Amino acid sequence: MADFRDADVLGTPALRGSRHGRPRPAQATRVAAGEHLRPGVVDDGVDLRERALPHRRRARAPRLRGDGDHGAPGPRSGPLAVTGHMTEVAVGGLESAAEPKPDAGRFPCFDGFRAAAALSVLLLHVAGSSGATQRNRDLGPYLARLDVGVAVFFLISGFLLYRPFVDAHIAGGRAPATLAFFRRRFLRIYPAYWVATTAVVYVFHTWPGGTRIKDVKSFVLYYSLAHSYNLGTIFAPLLQAWTLATEVAFYLFLPAWGWLLWRATTRAAPERRVRIELGALAILFAMSVVYRLVVKTSVSDETRVGQLLMWLPAWLDLFAMGMGLAVARVWISRRRLAAPLGLDRAYAPAACWVLAAIAFWASSTRLGIHRGASGFTTAQDVGVHLLYGLTAFFFLLPGIFGPQDQGAIRRLLRNRVVQALGLVSYGIYLWHENWIGKFLDWRGIAPFSGDFWPMLGTVLGLTIAAAAVSYAVVERPALRLKGRRGPRRVVGAG
């Protein structure tokens, strides 16, 4: 019988067997990865340090060419070195007295957000595999809900990747080139994922499915991140990879959504464009919630329910929240308006994090859910999902609005160690489950009976080391393969 570790974040029973007579470590949540770039780069699909697109005098449809991602990585002393933050540049659009330059803000806190999200998932799985989640009466309910890191990553993706599109919609500028966007996303996700998957199956043998992938079909599905669309391959050798499949689906969805919104807003006044954007995102949010409700209430097969709730429609509400933040940020920056709701005040970051903590507390203790990730009622499932969204929303606000060089919270997020962990957070996501499995094998301990602190120290150290190597040897070289077209312009250093 599957236990709470053999389930996805939404309560999907595991579809896998045990290895050596024990269940696999926690499969409850998986980080949506792929949004980790070198320091000073805000990944909205554009290398913001080294290029600016030509400004347009009239609205144009998004093009399929000409939007390269330029520039090589800056100097650094090692794979974890953190360089200075660079000021963002225009992503296109109209410049005039009425229309200030496109969003020229910078987001130096985002690597800190990524580090927090990745470490929350690592801690979730260590706590589950060691039994600390079940044994600790006081902290167990909170440890069980650390899959909130998934929501943080999805909101980050929605915000950063949609910004160039909404900037083009509002300003009548040039949207990111579709093929270049896909190329950058491919290089960000797949090379490191392929290396980690190959190592887990053929080198470390920590995949319960065996020491090799059984057939060509499964191989193609796993390596293409299409595995969650087939019942027989829902969990890949990297068991957390279902969120990568969801992230890739969002990458495919975003240019099409951007084109539809460009068509809907191209003849409207700027203020009306913003209203159309926000209204469309509200509809997208509602449709996602309805999809989740329909799946939970109309599908009786629990395995099928779990599969359907892995797919993008079940998570579009969280992406839409991040996209809504992108709309607000671009509009406020272009109009040189004050941050909304007093978010530029000194107390704002602490207030936002208090609200995030309240939402997280409610998801952990107020819904009557147990410490596993399965067996939720419809109300519990929707409730915890939406509370995760609110937690991530308030958690990210200090890094989006307000002076980014002020306040203790922002200083923490910009700390060099935290930034370095954020830089390698994709590797942390990819590698931590492997080291949990190896630790259990090395120590010969049964699930739920290990010591939390030795496991955490060992897994954390090995994971960070593997993530640093992945970044230096695989991820950074892959990023250098991005296209280099058009003029280069360094706008400034912070």
State whether the Cα torsion 35-41-42-47 is positive or negative.
negative
The pLDDT tens digits of the residues spanning 303-353 come to: 999 999 999 999 999 999 999 999 999 999 988 888 888 899 999 999 999
Q: Is the pLDDT of residue 197 over 50?
A: yes
Look at 11-20, 270-279, 412-421 and tell me which has the smallest mean pLDDT. Answer: 11-20
**Greater model confidence, 448 or 2:** 448
pLDDT tens, residue by residue, 435-484: 999 999 999 988 778 899 999 999 999 999 999 999 999 999 998 987 65
Burial (CB count <10 Å: 0-12, 13-18, 19+), residue 335: middle
Nearest of 350, 413, 355 to residue 387 by alpha carbon: 355
Q: How does DSSP classify residue 118?
A: H
Which H or E element spans position 430? helix 425-443
Domain ranges of the chain: 110-479
Distance CA 430, CA 446 (A): 24
Query: Could you tell me where the beta strands, DSSP code E, fall in 400-480?
Result: none
- Residue 181's pLDDT band, with cuts at 50, 70 and 90, is very high
Whole-structure pTM value? 0.79
Model confidence pLDDT, tens digit, residues 377-401: 999 999 999 999 999 999 999 999 9
Q: Is 86 helix (H, G, I), strand (E, B) or coil?
A: strand
> Helix %, strand %, coil % for the chain, to 5?
60, 0, 40
Token pair of 43 as six digits: 């990944």
Query: What was the pLDDT predicted at 484?
Result: 57
Give residue-wise pLDDT tens across range 116-169.
Answer: 999 999 999 999 999 999 999 999 999 999 999 999 999 999 999 999 999 999
The predicted pLDDT at position 1 comes to: 36
237 contact partners, CB below 8 Å, separation of at least 6: 197, 200, 201, 207, 209, 213, 222
pLDDT of residue 32: 37
Residue 10 — pLDDT band, cuts 50, 70, 90?
A: very low
- Is the pLDDT at 67 greater than 60, yes or no? no
- pLDDT of res. 339: 87
Helix H or strand E encompassing 163: helix 148-171
Predicted confidence band of residue 95 (pLDDT cuts 50, 70, 90)? very low
